[in-house]
């Protein structure tokens, strides 16, 4: 049953990576990176679910790591967005920070 | 047994209102009529599901928490409805 | 197979559909709206994976706080000239797509070939639980078994905030985050919501914090909820954004890591190891650390959303 | 706290959860396609309410008491997200902002 979510998580990682590579807009790259991350988290969740023993629904160790990871991922996104906005402010509207690749 | 039947009836009725809300959201012609359809799903759909689940939880904490969830959704739903109506009146692309 | 399987299949399909939309959507605002929906849907996935603690965190961070952060960024980026939509050439996209498919397929193969029986640390975590006096194994792992991770993660939040603050222009250093005069236009309905929701939110956050010892919940989840309420009040103009140089604000930011570190160091003397708790005092100490943590988490999350200071201090 | 339901009842509750989830998923089309900001907020609101209903039904079917707590948090955050969608669409220097994305 949890394998279904495992396969979905694998697909999420692929989707996020694709968006991260090909999307020209930096904000969308950040979004895609978050998708990639959530795929990895769900993978952890599936492994936790498989590690369930009598009395618990899932192995608590991967769960705790995922909770920590969600917060750290948020902090990283906030920093990335801060950098992006500052870059836009510095380079001005006429020269947006995107070219062919990441800024 | 009778309680189970009651639960199922109430939940089925709640499901119907969710159906109505979704159909309205997808098919109605403009944002304000869609808002009308949505509020039915919000208030009645969830309300009936909560009603159906009430006999299935422990009292008092479980039941009270369920009722609090519903009341919260009622209050916020009404307020967000106001926000949506205001946003809908902004100039913008029309369907 | 069964109804449960059908439910999971529908849920997984919906999550994947929304994720694909987020990647391909043309408008950034639409993609961000999709991301908020995605966060709420993931909370359902976590409940299905029997991880309500993570579901609470994901709903609060993924759907709530990250959503506001991205919406704010999208709104601010929109002001300037439109970004030239230069997608890589088709062959390059094809190569990237193939590469990503290979990676996804490899991960899928790993999922299908996971060892049987599954390796698990649950028995060890459960065995360590009675010593802490806690009933929730996840809190037990966060606060005792892997306490160092949790401590460092607090530090990461503060470091990220310092990073964001240091992006301010020299003139506004130590000033107030957020653009000027924005809240003056808050509509009545938003103000009403910002009066209605925070009292309930604060009660629920404290409830989650208290519950965290024995049931799913804890300082992260409660803190994220508190942060969301604070942001709502700032959006409606009911609470002024604090100046970054405000001493009380800085105290709130460091109280969590500081209390944690102090109790961790005291562990050398009372229990013979860093971050160890003396047995009879374990639970009260952990609750104390969690209570300090909720303040710091809430302040750090809300200020990360508010961004670097933009107005000079008075 | 929900008790674990009898197998037949649990299946019926899960079936109801499936139904509500499908409705929510269909409603999601509006969050994705718009066309106006108001439509997206409404779909987010429906997702919140439907998600809560789904959560409560799953909780009752599988005997997971914490589902009600998650639903409580979701109720708060869905309202918060709707407010942010409504208000976050107005850029700082752009009072009449429309859904330009």
Question: 25-44 in D: which are within 8 Å (CB) of C?
Answer: 25, 28, 31-34, 37, 40, 43-44
Question: 56-75 in D: which are within 8 Å (CB) of C?
Answer: 58-59, 64-67, 69-70, 72-74
Is B93 inside a domain boundary?
no
Inter-chain residue contact D71 with B95, CB threshold 8 Å: no
Is D37 inside a domain boundary?
yes
CB-nearest to B72 from D69, D76, D97 is D76
Residue B61: give the domain boundaries: 2-88
Asked if B69 has any chain C CB less than 8 Å from its own CB, the reply is no
Is D96 inside a domain boundary?
no
pLDDT above 70 covers what percent of chain D?
81
Inter-chain residue contact C189 with B75, CB threshold 8 Å: no
Per-residue confidence band for D4, with pLDDT thresholds at 50, 70 and 90:
low
Is D33 inside a domain boundary?
yes
Q: According to the model, what pLDDT value does residue A55 have? A: 65
Residue D21: give the domain boundaries: 7-86
pLDDT above 90 covers what percent of chain C?
22
Residue of C nearest to D8 (CA): C3
Is D52 inside a domain boundary?
yes
Is A32 inside a domain boundary?
yes
Q: What pTM did the predictor assign?
A: 0.88
pLDDT in tens, C187-205: 788 888 888 889 999 999 9
Per-residue confidence band for C180, with pLDDT thresholds at 50, 70 and 90:
low
Is A45 inside a domain boundary?
yes
Is D91 inside a domain boundary?
no
Residue A39: give the domain boundaries: 2-91
Please provide the average confidence, as pLDDT, over all residues in chain B.
82
C13: pLDDT strictly greater than 70:
yes
Cα C100 to chain centroid distance, Å, stands at: 27
Q: Could you report how far apart the first and last alpha carbons of chain B are, in Å?
A: 49
Query: Once rounded to an integer, what is the mean pLDDT over residues C104-120?
Result: 84
* CATH number of the structural domain spanning residue A72: 1.10.287
pLDDT in tens, C52-106: 889 999 988 887 889 889 988 888 777 554 555 677 778 888 888 999 999 999 9
Look at residues C309, C310, C302, C311 and name the one whose alpha carbon lies nearest to residue C60: C302
Q: According to the model, what pLDDT value does residue C182 have? A: 53
Query: Once rounded to an integer, what is the mean pLDDT over residues A84-103?
Result: 59
Per-residue confidence band for D100, with pLDDT thresholds at 50, 70 and 90:
very low
Which of A68-77, C219-228, C243-252 has the lowest average pLDDT? Answer: C243-252
The tally of domains found in chain B comes to 1
The tally of domains found in chain D comes to 1
Please provide the average confidence, as pLDDT, over all residues in chain C.
84
Is D29 inside a domain boundary?
yes
Is A99 inside a domain boundary?
no
Q: Which residues contact A17 (CB under 8 A, 6 or more apart)?
A: A32, A36, C99, C100, C103
The tally of domains found in chain A comes to 1
Q: How far is C188 from chain B (nearest CA, A)?
A: 9
Is D27 inside a domain boundary?
yes
Query: Once rounded to an integer, what is the mean pLDDT over residues C122-139?
Result: 78
Look at residues B12, C55, B4 and name the one whose alpha carbon lies nearest to residue D68: C55
Q: According to the model, what pLDDT value does residue A92 have? A: 63
pLDDT in tens, C250-301: 888 888 888 888 888 888 887 777 877 877 777 888 888 888 889 999 999 9
Q: According to the model, what pLDDT value does residue D64 have? A: 83
Which of C53-57, C308-312, D29-33, D96-100 has the lowest average pLDDT? Answer: D96-100
Is B9 inside a domain boundary?
yes
Is D62 inside a domain boundary?
yes
Query: Once rounded to an integer, what is the mean pLDDT over residues B57-81?
Result: 86
Is A72 inside a domain boundary?
yes
Give the three-state DSSP class for A56. Answer: coil
Is B95 inside a domain boundary?
no
């Amino acid at each position: 049953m949890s394998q279904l979510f495992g396969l979905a998580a694998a697909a999420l990682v692929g989707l996020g990576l694709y968006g991260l590579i090909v999307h020209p807009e930096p904000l969308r790259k950040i979004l895609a990176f978050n998708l990639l991350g959530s795929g990895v988290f769900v993978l952890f969740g599936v492994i936790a679910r498989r590690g369930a023993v009598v009395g618990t629904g899932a192995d608590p160790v991967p769960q705790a790591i995922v909770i920590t990871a969600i917060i750290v991922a948020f902090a990283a996104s906030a920093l990335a967005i801060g950098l992006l906005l500052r870059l836009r402010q510095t380079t001005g509207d006429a020269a947006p920070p995107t070219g062919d690749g990441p800024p | 047994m009778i309680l189970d039947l009651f639960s199922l009836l109430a939940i089925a009725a709640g499901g119907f209102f969710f159906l109505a809300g979704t159909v309205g959201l997808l098919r109605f012609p403009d944002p304000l009529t869609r808002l009308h359809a949505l509020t039915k799903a919000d208030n009645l759909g969830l309300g009936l599901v909560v009603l159906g689940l009430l006999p299935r939880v422990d009292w008092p904490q479980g039941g009270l928490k369920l009722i609090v969830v519903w009341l919260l959704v009622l209050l916020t739903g009404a307020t967000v409805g106001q926000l949506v109506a205001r946003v809908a009146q902004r100039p913008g692309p029309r369907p | 197979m069964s109804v449960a399987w059908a439910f999971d299949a529908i849920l997984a399909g919906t999550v994947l559909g929304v994720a694909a939309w987020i990647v391909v959507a043309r408008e950034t605002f639409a993609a961000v709206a999709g991301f908020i929906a995605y966060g709420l849907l993931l909370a359902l996935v976590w409940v299905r994976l029997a991880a309500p603690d993570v579901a609470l965190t994901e709903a609060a961070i993924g759907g709530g706080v990250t959503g506001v952060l991205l919406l704010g960024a999208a709104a601010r980026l929109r002001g300037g000239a439109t970004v030239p939509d230069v997608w890589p050439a088709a062959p390059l996209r094809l190569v990237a797509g193939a590469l990503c498919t290979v990676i996804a397929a490899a991960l899928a193969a790993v999922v299908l070939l996971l060892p049987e029986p599954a390796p698990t640390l649950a028995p060890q975590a459960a065995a360590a639980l009675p010593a802490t006096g806690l009933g929730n194994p996840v809190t037990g792992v966060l606060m005792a078994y892997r306490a160092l991770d949790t401590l460092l993660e607090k530090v990461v939040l503060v470091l990220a905030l310092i990073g964001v603050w240091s992006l301010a222009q020299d003139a506004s250093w130590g000033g107030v985050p957020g653009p000027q005069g924005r809240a003056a236009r808050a509509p009545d309905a938003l103000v009403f919501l910002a009066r209605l929701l925070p009292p309930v939110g604060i009660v629920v956050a404290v409830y989650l914090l208290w519950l965290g010892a024995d049931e799913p919940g804890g300082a992260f989840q409660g803190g994220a909820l508190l942060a969301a309420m604070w942001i709502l009040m700032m959006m409606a103009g009911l609470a002024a954004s604090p100046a970054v140089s405000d001493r009380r604000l800085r105290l709130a930011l460091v109280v969590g890591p500081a209390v944690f570190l102090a109790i961790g160091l005291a562990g050398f003397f009372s229990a013979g190891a860093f971050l160890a708790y003396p047995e009879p005092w374990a639970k009260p100490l952990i609750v104390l650390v969690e209570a300090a943590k909720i303040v710091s988490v809430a302040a750090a999350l809300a200020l990360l959303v508010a961004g670097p200071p933009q107005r000079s201090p008075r | 706290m929900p008790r674990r339901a009898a197998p037949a009842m649990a299946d019926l509750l899960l079936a109801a959860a499936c139904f509500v989830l499908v409705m929510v998923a269909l409603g999601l089309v509006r969050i994705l396609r718009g066309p106006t900001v108001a439509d997206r907020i409404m779909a987010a609101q429906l997702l919140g309410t439907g998600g809560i209903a789904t959560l409560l039904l799953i909780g009752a079917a599988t005997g997971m008491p914490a589902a009600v707590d998650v639903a409580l948090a979701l109720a708060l955050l869905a309202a918060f997200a709707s407010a942010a969608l409504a208000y976050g669409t107005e850029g700082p220097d752009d009072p009449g902002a429309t859904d330009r994305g």
